[in-house]
């Protein structure tokens, strides 16, 4: 049986920030195996994503199945398409579906994770909803100064957005134009149910697994690297490691959201006062309290009221919560057995996930299962699907990019539509993260394909391409951009 000798990746433009990647595995230019990794966009429109799904159907041939569908994690920007283009996907059989072990309803650690995350979200949603209402009511007050009104409006808007983000994290649909009753979690159920191969062991993947010799994809090894499988969920909770980031700008913000999380008391039964920065002796007794609040709540003292100020960190908090789910991303390396070349797909994994690929338990499992340790895979990486749309913590440095493609030319694909970055993620100005982008341009000699720009226009990239890449490589990169997708072929 001949081996796969090339893999073509299509990164679709779903109309917003999101992943939708079609992989065509070929022998002598004939496609013998197909894989779809995610299909979604953040608050994208049905029309844009349906165009992608239609192109996928046409490419694999109407009536033909997709051999393998991988849903990396439960976020709108990775799964919305399975709802929004449901009519198209209903006509495409899925031979096999892979998801991370975190989606396995019978796995005890997965159950624990869903419970922890669910509790935190419920507590935050309740608190923010209440505050959002209060601000709304306060806005109507006639005693507000123009300055206060301005601030209140700002809070009202940003908290509204944060609530949206939390609701979507919780699986509630934000899309008015989705089919009735279809949410993010429904999309997951839909995809699970479509798998022809129903065996649980094969659907839910754990780090250390090596899947090889799949019919049609001979000569290819799929290495599962993450999400980390540990009893205390430490790898998933471990969102940011200072020395694993090319930029540290969000670190302070993250610390304050942890404080906020403590203050909200989510997932904790400790009385709120124990988290107070002041000693118990400053606590007022009942009559003192009554007297104080009478003054405090009087109209002329309104400008001193600070109830809502502590929630200013809520935007950062939404980012932190988002990160939690991002760390449940199914991270995978595809290796050509013959040449050892590797294509890396970390989904939206953040540093806790990346670091765990190098754990002794994962390394020994990968070796035991006939694969290679993460270090070697990274060294042989020639294609990198940039993690989390180019965010500051979506690509680890020491455990990731620093080790990548040192002996060979690296090409990166970045699923990013910059002007569609949600404000909950910190907005367009943070994507791609500056320090990461600089490093990525250096590492790839400017060979970066982006959803919105195609071959990136950054002058530093252009200079490096002209200086260090062959004429043929430059030509291929320029030809990668199509109206609906970016396309790159890795020769095995």
Residues that bind Zn ion (CB under 5 A): 77, 348
* Minimum distance from residue 155 beta carbon to Zn ion (Å): 27
10 Å Cβ neighbour count for 229? Answer: 23
Do the strands 20-27 and 6-12 form a parallel or antiparallel pair, or are they unpaired? antiparallel
Q: Which is nearer to Zn ion, 40 or 492 (CB)?
A: 40
Helical spans, DSSP H, in 106-264 = 108-139, 146-169, 184-194, 200-203, 234-237, 251-264
β strands within 386-483, DSSP E: 411-414, 448-450, 454-455
Do the strands 6-12 and 454-455 form a parallel or antiparallel pair, or are they unpaired? unpaired
Q: Residue 19 pairs with which residues in a beta bridge?
A: none
* Minimum distance from residue 389 beta carbon to Zn ion (Å): 6
Q: What separation, in Å, do the N-terminal and C-terminal C-alpha atoms of the chain show?
A: 16
Q: Residue 329 and residue 346: Cα distance in Å, rounded?
A: 7
Cα dihedral sign, 234-235-241-243: positive
Residues 6+ apart with CB under 8 A from 221: 210, 211, 212, 334, 335, 337, 370, 371
Residues 6+ apart with CB under 8 A from 368: 208
Q: Largest Cα–Cα distance of the chain, in whole Å?
A: 86
* Minimum distance from residue 327 beta carbon to Zn ion (Å): 12
Q: Residue 198 and residue 96: Cα distance in Å, rounded?
A: 8
Helix, strand or coil, per DSSP, at residue 207: coil
Q: Which is nearer to Zn ion, 420 or 465 (CB)?
A: 420
* Minimum distance from residue 273 beta carbon to Zn ion (Å): 39
* Minimum distance from residue 249 beta carbon to Zn ion (Å): 20
Encoding tokens for residue 349?
């994994």
* Minimum distance from residue 326 beta carbon to Zn ion (Å): 7
* Minimum distance from residue 80 beta carbon to Zn ion (Å): 11
- Phi first, then psi, for residue 448 (nearest 5°) are -125, 125
Q: Residue 224 and residue 332: Cα distance in Å, rounded?
A: 5
Q: Which is nearer to Zn ion, 211 or 319 (CB)?
A: 319
Q: Which is nearer to Zn ion, 188 or 477 (CB)?
A: 188
Helical spans, DSSP H, in 170-231 = 184-194, 200-203
Q: Which is nearer to Zn ion, 132 or 388 (CB)?
A: 388
Give ∠ CA 216-219-222 in degrees, rounded to 5. 90
* Minimum distance from residue 329 beta carbon to Zn ion (Å): 8
Encoding tokens for residue 65?
């199945």
* Minimum distance from residue 251 beta carbon to Zn ion (Å): 21
* Minimum distance from residue 368 beta carbon to Zn ion (Å): 31
Spatial contact of 186 and 336, defined as CB atoms under 8 Å apart: no
Q: Which is nearer to Zn ion, 209 or 348 (CB)?
A: 348
Q: Which is nearer to Zn ion, 152 or 245 (CB)?
A: 245
* Minimum distance from residue 42 beta carbon to Zn ion (Å): 8
Whose tokens are 């709540």? That residue is 297
* Minimum distance from residue 303 beta carbon to Zn ion (Å): 41
Q: Which is nearer to Zn ion, 169 or 348 (CB)?
A: 348
Q: Which is nearer to Zn ion, 173 or 323 (CB)?
A: 323
Q: Which is nearer to Zn ion, 9 or 366 (CB)?
A: 9
Encoding tokens for residue 346?
């970390």
Spatial contact of 66 and 36, defined as CB atoms under 8 Å apart: yes
10 Å Cβ neighbour count for 288? Answer: 10
Q: Which is nearer to Zn ion, 77 or 209 (CB)?
A: 77
10 Å Cβ neighbour count for 84? Answer: 30
Q: Residue 453 and residue 376: Cα distance in Å, rounded?
A: 31
């Amino acid at each position: 049986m001949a081996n796969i000798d090339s893999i073509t990746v299509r990164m679709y433009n779903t109309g917003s920030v999101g992943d939708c990647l079609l992989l065509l595995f070929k022998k002598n230019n004939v496609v013998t195996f197909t894989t779809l990794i995610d299909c979604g966009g953040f608050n994208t429109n049905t029309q844009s994503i349906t165009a992608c799904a239609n192109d996928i159907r046409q490419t694999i041939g109407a009536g033909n199945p997709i051999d393998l569908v991988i849903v990396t994690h439960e976020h709108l920007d990775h799964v919305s398409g399975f709802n929004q283009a449901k009519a198209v996907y209903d006509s495409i059989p899925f031979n096999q579906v892979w998801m991370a072990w975190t989606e396995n309803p019978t796995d005890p650690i997965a159950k624990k994770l869903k419970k922890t995350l669910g509790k935190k979200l419920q507590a935050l949603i309740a608190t923010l909803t209440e505050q959002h209402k209060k601000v709304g009511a306060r806005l109507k007050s006639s005693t507000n100064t123009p300055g206060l009104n301005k601030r209140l409006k700002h809070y009202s808007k940003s908290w509204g957005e944060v609530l949206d983000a939390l609701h979507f994290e919780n699986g509630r649909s934000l899309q008015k134009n989705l089919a009735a009753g279809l949410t993010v979690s429904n999309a997951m159920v839909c995809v699970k149910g479509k798998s022809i191969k129903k065996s649980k062991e094969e659907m839910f993947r754990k780090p250390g697994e090596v899947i090889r010799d799949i019919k049609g994809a001979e000569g290819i090894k799929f290495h599962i690297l993450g999400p980390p499988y540990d009893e205390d969920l430490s790898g998933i909770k471990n969102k940011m490691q200072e020395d694993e980031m090319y930029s540290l700008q969000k670190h302070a913000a993250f610390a304050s959201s942890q404080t906020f999380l403590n203050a909200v008391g989510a997932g904790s039964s400790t009385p709120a006062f124990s988290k107070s920065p002041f000693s118990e002796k400053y606590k007022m007794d009942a009559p003192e309290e009554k007297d104080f609040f009478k003054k405090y709540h009087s109209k002329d003292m309104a400008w001193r009221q600070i109830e809502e100020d502590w929630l200013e960190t809520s935007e950062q908090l939404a980012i932190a919560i988002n990160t939690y789910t991002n760390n449940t991303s199914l991270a995978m390396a595809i290796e050509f057995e013959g040449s050892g070349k590797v294509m890396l797909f970390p989904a939206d994994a953040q540093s806790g996930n990346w670091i765990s690929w190098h754990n002794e338990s994962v390394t020994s499992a990968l070796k035991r299962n006939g694969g290679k340790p993460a270090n070697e895979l990274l060294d042989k990486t020639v294609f990198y699907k940039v993690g989390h749309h180019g965010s500051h913590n979506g690509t680890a440095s020491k455990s990731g990019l620093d080790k990548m493609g040192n002996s060979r030319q690296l090409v990166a694909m970045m699923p990013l539509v910059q002007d569609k970055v949600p404000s909950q993620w910190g907005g367009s100005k943070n994507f791609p993260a500056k320090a990461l982008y600089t490093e990525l341009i250096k590492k790839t000699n400017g060979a970066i394909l982006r959803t919105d720009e195609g071959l990136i226009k950054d002058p530093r990239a252009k200079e490096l391409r002209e200086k260090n890449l062959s004429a043929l490589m430059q030509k291929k990169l320029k030809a990668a951009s199509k109206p609906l997708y970016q396309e790159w072929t890795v020769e095995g």
